[in-house]
Chains A and B, each alone.
Chain A
C-alpha cells in the first residue's frame, strides 16, 4: 500500500511516456517483493497448535512446520548428556488468553495443567544442550514437526517461567507482612 503512493505522485507530472516506464518499473519491483513475501510465507510459516489440537488433527498435520506450547512435566524430563538428547512431556494449556486469565494467569494455568492427570499430553524430543529453564511447570514453546509416531520432534525449544516476570506482588511480601 505504502509503496504505491510514491510512484503516482511523481508520475503525474511526467510526460506520458516517462510515466509508463516509471509505473511499470515500480510495479515490477513491488510485484517481485510481494511474490517474495508470499512464497517465503508459504514455505516458512509455522502453524501454532495446542496439545489438544495436535492430538485431534493427528496424522493430517505430520510434516507441517508446527509450533506448539504446553506445560513441562518435570518428572518426565530425561537428558542424555552424551547424545544431548532431551525428552519430556508437555501437558495441554489453553491458547486463549481469557481462559488463562480466568485461571489466574499463566503461572497458575501451567500449574493446573501439570496437576491435572486428564490433560492431554504429548512427548517431545529435542537434541541440544539442556536449556536452563527446562523444569517442572515451565511453559515450553516448541518448533518442529510431528512424527508419525505421535512424538513431536523439536528443532527449537524456548522456555518461559512466567513467575520469573513481574507480578503485582512479590511472593516474599506475605512473609514480610509481620513487620
Chain B
C-alpha cells in the first residue's frame, strides 16, 4: 500500500517535471506570464511529491517491510534505527530517490528567489532544472524502482516487480540481507548527503548559464546571481570529499584516506573544475574577460557531475563505491551526451558575443596568475580523467585492458598540485594588469627568507627527502605570504580608521568576506598539503604476529600486545578486541583497542577491521588487528602505521570549511556593499603601484 502511494507520488512528480519543462519553454515562446507562473508552480510541486516518496520509503525501511525488494536488500532486523533510515541512500534505487529529492530541494528553492531583475531567464532555468530532475525521476520509475516488490509463483520462480505478475503471490522474506557492513558507520549518515548536495547544487549555476546563453544575455548577471549557489554547492562537495577521506581512514583499515579510486576521481573532477570556475569568474567580474571560458567551465563541471553519478551508479568501473551492474548505463550516457552537445552548441552560437572586454597586459599580472591557476586545474582534471577512462578507451580501441593505479596519479597530479600551491601563495600579491617583478620581490622577501630558513632547519634536523623539502618550502612560503595579506590589510585599516588590531582584523574580514574567506580557505589548503606531504612521504609501517606480552617496534614507537577479548555486540556482530599499549621512547602513552567485527551476513561472516588510533598533532599511531586466530589464543597479527602530520589534513579540512562559511555567509545589503568596495580599495592601497 505505502509502496503504491510512493510509486504514484513519483509518477506525479515526473508529470510535474515534464509539465514544468514544456510550460516553461512555451511561456517563453508565447511570452505568456500566466503559463510561466504555472510552470513555476509545477516546479515547486515536485518537491512535496518526491518528499512524500522518500518519506514513505523510509517508513518501509524502518518498519521492516521486506516484501519490498529494496528494503530486503538494504536493511535487516538487527540494524539500528539510524542505519535503517540512512539505508535510504545505502543502495542503488534508494540513493537515486534521495538524489532526486535533493535536486528538487535545490530546483524548488531556486524558484523562491526574487526574480525581478532577471525574469527573462526564468523559463529556461525552470526547463533546464526540471529536465534534469525529470531524467532522474524517470530512472527511478522505469529502471531502478525502489518500490518494486518480491513475488513468487509457487514453483520456486521469484520475481521482482511493482505489481503481481500473473499467478504469483507476495513473497515476504523473514529478514533482510542487511546493509554492507562497510556502510554501517556514522560517517554514512553525513558523507553521501554532503557529496550529493555538492553534486546536485551545480545544477543551479549551470541552469542559469544555459538560460543566459539561450536568451543571449552576455553580461555576468548569471554569475552574480548564482555566486552563492555555486559556493554552497562547492562547500558541500568539498565537505563530502573530506568526510569521505575520513570515513575511509576510520573504516577501510588500510591506513590511508585517498586511493584514487575511480569513484573518488569521479567526485574529485567536478570539484577541480568547480574550483577553477570559482577563480576564473573573478576575472570576468573584475575585468570582463574569460566569458567563454567560464561558460565552458560550468558546462564541464555539470557534465562531470553527471558523469560522476554515472560512474558511481552504473557499475561500469569496479570500486568500493560501485554497486551492482545496472541497466542505467546507456541512459546516463545518452543524457550526458545530450547535455554536453546541447550546451556546446548553445555556447558556439553565442561565441562572438562573449568577447572579452579587456586585454591582457603584462605577463606578470593577477590576470595571468588566474590563467595559470585555471590551466593547472584543467591539467589535473585532464590527467585524472585520462587515468580514469583510459582503461575503458584502451579496451574499446585495442582490446587490451590497461589500467593505472595510485602511482600514476601521484606522479602526474603531485607536481601540478605543487605548482598550484606555490601559485596560491604568490598570486594574491601580484597586482592586476601589470605587476613589477621588483615590487613582487619586495613583498615576498620576508616570507621567502623565512621559508628558506625553515627548510634549512629541517635539513639540519634530518629531513633529507628532497621532494619533501620542496613541499615544506612551498607550504611555509604560502603560509607566510597568505598571513602577510591579513597583516597588511589589518595595518591599512588601523591606519585609515584608527581601530585596534583585533577590531581592524575582524572588520577587514567581515567587509571583504569573499576575499578573506578565500584566503582562509587557502590556509586550510596549505594545512591539507602539509598533512598529505607528511602522511605520504613519511609513513612508517610494520606488521608482525605477536603473542601476549610481545612487542612490535615502529619508528619511535613500541606496541605491546596485552589482551584480547571476544564478545557479542547488541547488533549481533561478533567483536574481537585486542588491547595494545603504545610507548614512545620508552614512555607509556596510552592503550589502544583495535577490533575485528564480524557481521553475520546471509552468505557467511563478513569481517571489518576497525583500527585503534592514537592521534596527536605530530602523528597518528594506527594499529590494526588483522588476523585473529581463535586456536592458539595467544597469537594475533598486527599491522601498525605511523602517519606523521596526518591530523593537519583534518584540521585543514576544518579551516577550509570555516573559510567557506566566511565566504558564503550572506553579506550585507547592496548599500553596504558599496562601502565595502571602498574599504577594499583603501585596504589595497599600500599594495598598489
Contacts and interface: CB of A to CB of B under 8 A. Distances in A.
Interface residues of A, number: 62
A45 B173 contact: no
Contacts of A15: 359
Q: Interface range on chain B: under 10, 10 to 19, 20 to 34, or 35 or more?
A: 35 or more
B375 A46 contact: no
Contact of A26 (B150, B293, B375, B390): B375
Contacts of A81: 545, 627, 629, 635, 637
A132 B296 CA distance: 46
Given A22-B363, A67-B403, A129-B627, A33 B371 contact: no
Interface in A121-179: 128-130, 132, 141, 143, 156, 160-161, 163-177, 179
B602 A165 contact: no
Contacts of B412: 36-37, 40
Contact of B602 (A18, A45, A170): A170
Contact of A166 (B91, B381, B404): B91
Contacts of B180: 164-165
Nearest to B416: A33
Contacts of A2: 296, 300, 378, 381-382
Contacts of A84: 543, 545, 637
A113 to B, nearest CB: 17
Contact of A179 (B172, B411, B603): B172
Contacts of B603: 161, 163-164, 171
A172 B363 CA distance: 69
A168 B405 contact: no
A132 B181 CA distance: 13
A47 B372 contact: no
B296 to A, nearest CB: 6
B682 interface: no
A9 interface: yes
B415 interface: yes
Contacts of B296: 2, 5
Contacts of B470: none
Contacts of B606: 132, 164
Interface string A98-137: 0000000000000000000000000000001110100000
A29 B602 contact: no
Nearest to B545: A81
A95 B401 contact: yes
A58 interface: no
A172 B356 contact: no
Interface string A51-79: 00000000000000001000000000000
B361 interface: yes
Contact of A46 (B171, B358, B404, B627): B404
Interface stretch (B152-160, B512-520, B577-585, B587-595): B152-160
B379 interface: yes
A25 B363 contact: yes
Interface in B378-410: 378-379, 381-383, 386, 390-391, 400-405, 407-408
A173 B72 contact: yes
A85 interface: no
Given A26-B375, A172-B602, A10 B289 contact: yes
A12 B356 CA distance: 9
Contact of B375 (A30, A168, A177): A30
A44 to B, nearest CB: 4
Given A130-B627, A172-B177, A173-B158, A13 B356 contact: yes
Interface in A1-24: 1-3, 5-7, 9-15, 18, 21-22
A44 B407 contact: yes
A160 B315 CA distance: 14
Interface string B345-363: 0000000000110111101
Contacts of A12: 355-356
A24 to B, nearest CB: 10
B228 interface: no
Contact of B601 (A40, A47, A156, A164): A164
Contact of A47 (B359, B382, B401): B401
Nearest to A107: B603
B92 interface: yes
Contact of A48 (B293, B325, B374, B401): B401
Interface of A: 1-3, 5-7, 9-15, 18, 21-22, 25-26, 29-30, 33, 36-37, 40-41, 44-49, 67, 81-82, 84, 95, 97, 128-130, 132, 141, 143, 156, 160-161, 163-177, 179
9 contacts: A6-B290, A9-B292, A33-B382, A46-B404, A84-B543, A168-B69, A170-B72, A170-B602, A174-B156
Interface of B: 66, 69, 72-73, 91-92, 150, 152, 156, 158, 160, 171-177, 180, 289-290, 292-293, 296, 300, 318, 323-325, 355-356, 358-361, 363, 368, 371-372, 374-376, 378-379, 381-383, 386, 390-391, 400-405, 407-408, 411-412, 415-416, 543, 545, 601-603, 606-609, 626-627, 629, 635, 637, 639
The 6 closest A-B pairs by CB, nearest first: A48-B401, A129-B626, A33-B379, A176-B173, A44-B408, A132-B607
Given A14-B360, A44-B408, A170-B72, 20 more contacts: A5-B292, A6-B371, A11-B360, A12-B355, A15-B359, A18-B359, A21-B363, A22-B360, A22-B371, A36-B412, A36-B415, A40-B408, A40-B411, A45-B403, A47-B402, A132-B607, A163-B603, A170-B176, A176-B66, A177-B158
